[in-house]
Amino acid sequence: MANEQQLEPCLCNGKSVSRMFNPKQLRIYILHLLTGGINYGYELIKKIAEETAGFYCPSPGVIYPTLTLLEELGFISAGKDNGKGRKCYVITPEGRCFLLLKAEILAEVQLKLKYAQELKAGNQFANEIECAVDKFKSLLRHQIVIQQLTKEETTRVVEIINRAVERIEQVNAVLVAEGKSNG
């Protein structure tokens, strides 16, 4: 398991939603993923993070107990992968039957996944803006901390920032007005 933690970072960048799925939904979602050939706990974590657009990255402390429960219920079976020594999970015929019976829960999960992808698409530029603002704040803090700005330079920076804020407010007002006229 130590090797698994070193592979790739989670897509959520530490900004995971605490409970995107209730326990029933998570069990059904895991069964569904197992039908698609995702067979290892770490792969499930990565796939869930990917399909939720990084909004939810379940921890190993959530995934592995859920896999154990599904195994105890007879919905999956676990075996060892001889190549890496990891547990390999496979959905059983009982698990497939249970998944079919719980189609409405899977539909709820798929609706949440679709919504997460839509949020990601809409927030793509918001993340870029947030990164730019963070860089800007970091630069200013650095300059202020090492006191490289004179009073005149500080006044000029404040004027530039205020003009930028006014311009952003103008653009936003136009976008809001367009949204109201289209809605």
pLDDT tens for 107-159 read 999 999 988 887 777 665 666 777 777 788 887 777 666 677 788 888 888 89
- The token duo for 22 is 């209730």
Phi/psi at 80 (5° precision): -90, 135
∠ Cα 48 9 122 (to 5°): 60
Which of 58 and 118 is assigned the larger pLDDT? 58
Which of 4 and 135 is assigned the larger pLDDT? 135
Q: What is the pLDDT of residue 89?
A: 94
What's CA 106's distance to the chain center, in Å? 19
40 burial via Cβ count (<10 Å: 0-12, 13-18, 19+):
middle
Which of 15 and 28 is assigned the larger pLDDT? 28
Whether 66 shows a pLDDT value over 50: the answer reads yes
Residues with Cβ within 8 Å of residue 60, at least 6 apart in sequence: 1, 41, 42, 45
Whether 92 shows a pLDDT value over 70: the answer reads yes
Q: Kindly report the average pLDDT of the chain as a whole number.
A: 81
Q: Do residues 63 and 44 lie in contact, with contact meaning Cβ atoms separated by under 8 Å?
A: yes
